[in-house]
Amino acid sequence: MNKPLPNSTAAMDAAHQVHPHTDLRAHLKTGPSELFVRGEGINVFDSDGKDYIEGAAALWCSSLGFGSERLGNVAKEVMTNLGYYHNFRGSGTPQAAELCGKLADIAPNGMDKILLQSSGTEANDTALKLVWYYWNSQGAPQRRKIISRNEAYHGTGTLTSCLTGKVKFHDGYGLPFDGFHYVTMPYHYRMAEPGESEEEFSTRCAEEIEALILREGPETVAAFWAEPVLGSGGAITPPKGYFEKIQAVLDKYGVLFVADEVICGFARTGEMWGTQTYQLKPDMICCAKALSAAMVPISAVIIGDRVFEGMMAQSDKFGSFTHGYTYSGHPVACAVASEVLTIYQEMDLVNHVKALELGFLKGFHDLADHPLIGDVDGIGLIGAVEVVANKDTKAMHAPELKVMPMLDRLTRKHGLITRLIGNRIALAPPQIITAPEVEEMFTRLRAALDECLKTLPAA
């Protein structure tokens, strides 16, 4: 029997809660690393009273920081007056209608139909169904194959795990299913050939996709899935010309393009949508996370005209659009999300991020000369540094040194929570962050890197 943990809440957590992305056996013994009990601005506080800058906005999502009386009051009013009603069979609520209208107003041109869901995974799963629904409406049911990218993340549902191009999300589950294909991630620093420019690398990536389409048969390929910035793949921005070249290939063969903006949406990349930052032409956009500033679970699929025409044809054929979840368009979630969009408008979110971008990116570039840093990358308020053992060869540290776990401990020691992805340290702070707070965030990151360097054996 495990020895009881000193904190009763921690003991209950260890005994009963199954944590995602956690060593389950170890957790039974040690319990949670921290219990967070309060938030204020960009800071969170654990049960011991220690405060941290949340440099990753939790899971890329707490765009307005932590704790909000204003949003709490919105939720309370709806919960008191109605609580819940569904949007099935033509029913609805004012809250869902208002949110859809606001989303349509800020969506890219030609994308004004909104299908509400409850999570990023649900949004991507739904978009996948809509891809197949569309091709069936066009008399092309054989177009079922999906192209995703290595290290892309699109969710952890059964089908969205297949969209996700990370092997660890497939191991042990008998995934992926047939029909899912993965191409090179747009990671010039690691994936480019010696001497290959960003434009040349982008050309090679586009040629790889075209070769895959031709090999599988264009008449069988349904859609290409991509995040504008590869989030959980390492906060990696696309190389020059990447999406322009790929869009041309997709257009050539009539392949649908789904933009996963679950992380990139709502000004994370400096425009309201990453789609706008990189001038993409998607058929659907999936959004979540910052849609409600992560205060309540909600997501949406923003649907372009082409796909919606196919959906209406299918609805005509079968009598209705047969899809939905109990909590789709939940009035409390919709009211909170609608108020969040109002706050974004009040704070002029896009220009606020643009005003901070130069200082944020400077923080990364100032670390480029650090002995542990081999690459810096970023846009808007998302970016990363890559930790290496040798800057010239890009060699990583020996696994037994456990450098990244050490850096995780040290950044937290210095009061900063980051997102560690492989040997990359990603930052994507709440978008309410100020210029002085940006500077402080990088001061704490450098302090952790310096302390780590002193601890490592001499090269």
Range of the domain at 62: 34-67+348-455
What DSSP element (H or E) covers 386?
A: strand 382-387
Question: Which residues are within 8 A (CB) of 97 and not within 5 positions of it... i.e. 6 or more apart?
Answer: none
The number of folded domains in the chain is 2
For all residues of the chain together, what is the average pLDDT?
96
45 within a domain of the structure (yes/no): yes
7 within a domain of the structure (yes/no): no
9 within a domain of the structure (yes/no): no
298, 314, 346 — which closes off a domain? 346
CATH number at residue 125: 3.40.640.10
Q: Are residues 54 and 92 in the same domain?
A: no
The pLDDT-based confidence of 457 (bands split at 50, 70, 90) is: confident
19 within a domain of the structure (yes/no): no
Q: Taking residues 59-83, what's their average pLDDT?
A: 98
Q: Return the pLDDT at 300.
A: 98
Alpha helix locations (H) across 69-197?
69-81, 94-106, 120-137, 158-163, 188-191
Residue pLDDT, tens place only, 18-37: 999 999 999 999 999 889 99
321, 346, 371 — which closes off a domain? 346
10 within a domain of the structure (yes/no): no
Sheet with 145-149: strands ordered across: 113-117, 299-303, 284-287, 256-260, 221-226, 145-149, 180-183
Q: Are residues 108 and 254 in the same domain?
A: yes
Q: Are residues 438 and 330 in the same domain?
A: no
Tell me the β-bridge partners of 424: 386, 421
Q: Taking residues 334-360, what's their average pLDDT?
A: 98
324, 346, 368 — which closes off a domain? 346
Q: Are residues 75 and 143 in the same domain?
A: yes
Q: Are residues 300 and 360 in the same domain?
A: no
Q: Which two tokens stand for residue 396?
A: 């990583």
Residue type, 82: L
228 within a domain of the structure (yes/no): yes
Residue pLDDT, tens place only, 421-451: 999 999 999 999 999 999 999 999 999 999 9
Residue % of the chain over a pLDDT of 90: 97
The pLDDT-based confidence of 458 (bands split at 50, 70, 90) is: confident
329 within a domain of the structure (yes/no): yes
* CB neighbours of residue 321 within 10 Å: 13
pLDDT at 2 over 90: no
Q: Return the pLDDT at 4.
A: 44
Q: Return the pLDDT at 1.
A: 33
CA distance 376 to 328: 39
Q: Which two tokens stand for residue 407?
A: 């850096």
Residue pLDDT, tens place only, 85-130: 999 999 999 999 999 999 999 999 999 999 999 999 999 999 999 9
Q: Are residues 314 and 427 in the same domain?
A: no
Cis peptide leading into 176, omega within 30 of 0?
yes
Q: Are residues 45 and 150 in the same domain?
A: no
Tell me the DSSP string of 33-54: S--EEEEEBTEEEETTS-EEEE
What three-state secondary structure class fits 424? Answer: strand
Q: At what angle do helices 331-346 and 69-81 cross, to 10 degrees?
A: 150
pLDDT at 459 over 80: no
CATH number at residue 440: 3.90.1150.10
Residue 365, CB-side half-sphere exposure with 13 Å CA sphere: 8
Can you say whether residue 138 is alpha, beta or left, with left for phi > 0 and alpha for psi between -120 and 50 degrees? alpha
CA distance 222 to 216: 11
Q: Are residues 106 and 91 in the same domain?
A: yes
Q: Are residues 450 and 323 in the same domain?
A: no
Q: Are residues 204 and 292 in the same domain?
A: yes
Residue 336, CB-side half-sphere exposure with 13 Å CA sphere: 28
pLDDT at 3 over 50: no
CA distance 78 to 306: 35
Q: Taking residues 379-403, what's their average pLDDT?
A: 97
Q: Taking residues 300-310, what's their average pLDDT?
A: 98
Q: Are residues 342 and 353 in the same domain?
A: no
235 within a domain of the structure (yes/no): yes
The pLDDT-based confidence of 8 (bands split at 50, 70, 90) is: confident
Alpha-carbon distances of 209 from 86, 179, 227, 286, 427, rounded to whole Å: 41, 15, 16, 22, 30
pTM: 0.95
CA distance 123 to 115: 9
Q: Are residues 300 and 412 in the same domain?
A: no
Residue pLDDT, tens place only, 203-216: 999 999 999 999 99
